[in-house]
């Protein structure tokens, strides 16, 4: 009873209005210092050191403007790859989104889960699997009797990797919005004689424009900033995120900072475009062509579209993304070509004198420790921020906070990692050097939006009358939150934890910039692939893929069953 009375006094004290203001101010201050400032600190560095930046980038005494020319080439390649990948994703993803949103068939749940498969695979493992499928004799080239691969490392293989990486973003954005379109509008259009193709173009598409625009911009932003998969397939070519890493490794700090500013500025512009275009831009409907559109609505044409949707998903997305599995089986006990035991997965991982199994275990433990700490910290930081976004009626400030929270979500992770490195390191607070804790802080930054978004979504769906009832019965705001709101937030908290943990577990680009001497398992995969220990790298990919996909399945169970 004494403990209960003390708890009541504490909760009554914490529920006072000035404590609420203090908690809000503290939440915003922590968000600004831990998340926002490290993300955009690279701007401060470039502006304050502009003289040196200009000299190193545009007018170096030895190199001249060579670095600027290299940046332009890297940005041009990144923009070309991102725009091409997004266009392909829309072309093959839109039919799949319609199938998942409007069709009912056996195996639909399986297809729906497989569409998310690339999201569950850490990008370095995804890139390695795509490399094996397209660029080695073990993949699709074996069907054509080739021993050197069908596609070599370079822009085309980068494009194929980015299509697989961003496909799920387009399909998911479109599927959720198309499902939300009232089918009665479509039925009314058909009743008036419109063909199914005309109905989709003139009714469904305009109503689903938010998902289409968001999917396009999100896929473009994710492709523009992708690092892990690109490292695997780029060869001698460099996209902008890879150039940031390369310059950082060569200690070209000013040049890497300037390119990071460009990438962050582009990402923030894309984020603003999502909010502006989804409201102001419509899908033009100027004319209807009854003949051609009725032809395209025929049953044969529909079957062809469905076949192309499934076949393109299988050939371009699913099989390349999961090809590591048959590769490991094929190479497990030795080379399938020479029979050498030393070339097999088992020897390289478990028998070879360099003890790759220990390195794999250590890197996996390191990855899980970092992911666990980052997730736990973000749950603590994300709950009060979610309460501010959902419960505080601050008007435009709420919209501003939602935009700021999303910034780490769209910024290329190599640029984000470099900015965090500058903020906490020698160019900023001089508090940390590359290593475990700087990696943790970096992972906290880019996983923060996943946590806040997941918790906020559940919080918005809670019935406020439950809280009002508790307060009517004499409960303080803190008691109401602890006994009513927090238990109802369980699905959001679990979803947030799984999303943040999985995202942290698979990150490559930001980690390479800030890791120092530690190694996470995605980085280890990159290093083994570069050292041509392909069987060992493939085995590490399998471990990471299984762990990540199990986490994804648990997330689907949480969302569907809690």
* Cα 316 to Cα 78, 115, 163, distances in angstroms: 20, 12, 8
Question: For residue 171, what are its two tokens?
Answer: 């399909």
Distance CA 170, CA 223 (A): 12
Q: Which residue has the tokens 């007018």?
A: 59
- φ/ψ of residue 64, rounded to 5: 65, -130
Question: Which residues are 110's β-sheet partners?
Answer: none
223-229-233-234 Cα dihedral, nearest 10 degrees: 50
- Per-residue pLDDT at 562: 47
Q: Which of 388, 132, 143, 414 is nearest to 260 (CA)?
A: 414
Domain limits, CATH 1.10.3720.10, in the chain:
42-326, 368-562
DSSP state of 104: -
CATH number of 368-562: 1.10.3720.10
Distance CA 131, CA 158 (A): 9
* Cβ neighbours around 13 below 10 Å, total: 11
Question: For residue 346, what are its two tokens?
Answer: 């088992």
What is the full per-residue pLDDT of the chain (562 aa) written as tens digits? 344 666 667 766 666 777 788 888 999 999 999 999 999 999 999 999 999 999 989 988 887 888 999 999 999 999 999 999 999 999 999 889 888 888 888 888 888 888 888 877 888 999 999 999 999 989 998 888 887 889 989 999 999 999 999 998 888 888 877 877 767 766 776 776 666 766 676 666 676 777 777 778 778 888 888 898 999 999 899 999 999 999 999 989 999 999 999 988 888 887 777 666 655 555 555 555 666 666 556 677 788 888 999 999 999 999 999 999 999 999 999 999 888 999 999 999 999 998 999 999 999 999 999 999 999 999 999 999 998 998 888 888 888 898 899 888 888 899 999 999 999 997 899 999 999 999 999 999 999 998 998 888 888 877 777 776 777 777 777 777 777 778 888 877 888 888 888 889 989 999 999 999 999 999 999 999 989 899 999 999 999 888 887 877 777 666 555 4
CATH 3.40.50.2300 fits 42-326, yes or no: no
**HSE (CB half, 13 Å, CA atoms) of 330?**
14
49-55-58-59 Cα dihedral, nearest 10 degrees: 170
Distance CA 226, CA 38 (A): 20
Q: Which of 152, 156, 153, 134 is nearest to 144 (CA)?
A: 134
- Per-residue pLDDT at 441: 97
> Per residue, what are the HEC states of 10-55?
HHHHHCCHHHHHHHHHHHHHHHHHHHHHHHHHHHHHHHHCHHHHHH
Q: Which residue has the tokens 């979504």?
A: 457
* Cβ neighbours around 176 below 10 Å, total: 17
pTM above 0.95, yes or no: no
Q: Which of 229, 224, 164, 153 is nearest to 526 (CA)?
A: 229
Residues 6 or more apart from 278 whose CB is under 8 A from it?
209, 210, 213, 214
CA 128 to chain CA centroid, nearest Å: 17
Cβ atoms of residues 118 and 164 within 8 Å: yes
Residue 534, classified by CB atoms within 10 Å of its CB into exposed (0-12), middle (13-18) or buried (19+), is buried
| Radius of gyration from C-alpha coordinates of the chain | 25
């Amino acid at each position: 009873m004494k403990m209960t009375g003390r708890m009541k006094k504490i909760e009554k004290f914490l529920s006072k209005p000035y404590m609420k203001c203090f908690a809000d101010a503290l939440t915003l201050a922590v968000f600004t210092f831990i998340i926002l400032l490290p993300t955009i600190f690279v701007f401060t560095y470039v502006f304050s050191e502009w003289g040196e930046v200009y000299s190193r980038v545009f007018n170096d005494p030895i190199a001249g403007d060579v670095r600027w020319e290299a940046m332009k080439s890297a940005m041009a390649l990144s923009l070309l790859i991102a725009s091409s990948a997004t266009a392909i994703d829309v072309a093959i993803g839109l039919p799949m989104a319609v199938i998942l949103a409007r069709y009912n068939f056996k195996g639909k749940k399986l297809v729906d889960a497989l569409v998310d498969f690339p999201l569950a695979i850490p990008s370095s493992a995804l890139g390695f699997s795509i490399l094996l499928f397209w660029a080695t004799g073990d993949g699709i080239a074996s069907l054509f009797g080739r021993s050197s691969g069908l596609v070599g490392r370079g822009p085309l293989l980068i494009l194929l990797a980015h299509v697989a990486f961003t496909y799920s973003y387009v399909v998911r954005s479109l599927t959720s919005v198309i499902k939300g379109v009232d089918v009665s509008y479509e039925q009314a259009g058909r009743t008036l004689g419109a063909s199914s193709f005309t109905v989709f173009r003139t009714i469904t598409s305009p109503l689903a424009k938010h998902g289409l625009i968001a999917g396009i911009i999100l896929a473009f932003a994710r492709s523009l900033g992708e690092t892990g998969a690109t490292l695997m397939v780029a060869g001698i070519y460099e996209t902008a995120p890879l150039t940031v890493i390369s310059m950082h490794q060569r200690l070209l700090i000013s040049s890497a900072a300037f390119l990071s500013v460009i990438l962050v500025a582009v990402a923030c512009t894309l984020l603003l475009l999502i909010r502006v275009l989804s409201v102001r831009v419509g899908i033009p409907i100027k004319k209807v062509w009854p003949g051609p559109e009725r032809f395209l609505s025929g049953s044969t044409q529909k079957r062809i579209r469905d076949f192309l949707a499934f076949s393109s998903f299988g050939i371009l997305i699913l099989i390349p993304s999961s090809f590591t599995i048959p590769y490991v089986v094929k190479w497990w006990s030795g080379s399938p070509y020479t029979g050498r035991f030393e070339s097999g997965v088992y020897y390289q991982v478990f028998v070879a004198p360099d003890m790759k199994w220990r390195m794999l275990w250590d890197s996996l433990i390191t990855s899980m420790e970092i992911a666990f700490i980052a997730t736990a910290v973000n749950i603590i930081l994300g709950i009060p921020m979610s309460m501010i976004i959902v419960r505080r009626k601050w008007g435009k400030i709420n919209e501003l906070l939602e935009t700021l929270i999303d910034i780490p979500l769209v910024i290329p992770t190599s640029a984000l990692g470099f900015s965090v490195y500058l903020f906490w390191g020698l160019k900023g607070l001089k508090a940390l050097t590359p290593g475990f804790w700087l990696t943790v802080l970096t992972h906290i930054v880019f996983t923060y939006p996943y946590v806040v978004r997941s918790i906020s979504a559940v919080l918005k769906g809670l019935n406020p009358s439950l809280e009002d009832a508790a307060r009517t019965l004499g409960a303080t705001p803190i008691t109401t939150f602890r006994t009513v709101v927090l238990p109802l937030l369980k699905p959001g908290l679990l979803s947030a934890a799984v999303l943040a943990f999985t995202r942290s577990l698979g990150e490559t680009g930001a980690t390479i910039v800030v890791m120092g001497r530690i190694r996470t398992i995605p980085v280890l995969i990159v290093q083994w692939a570069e050292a041509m220990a392909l069987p060992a790298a493939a085995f590490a990919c399998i471990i990471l893929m299984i762990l990540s996909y199990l986490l994804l399945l648990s997330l689907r169970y949480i969302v569907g069953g809690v």
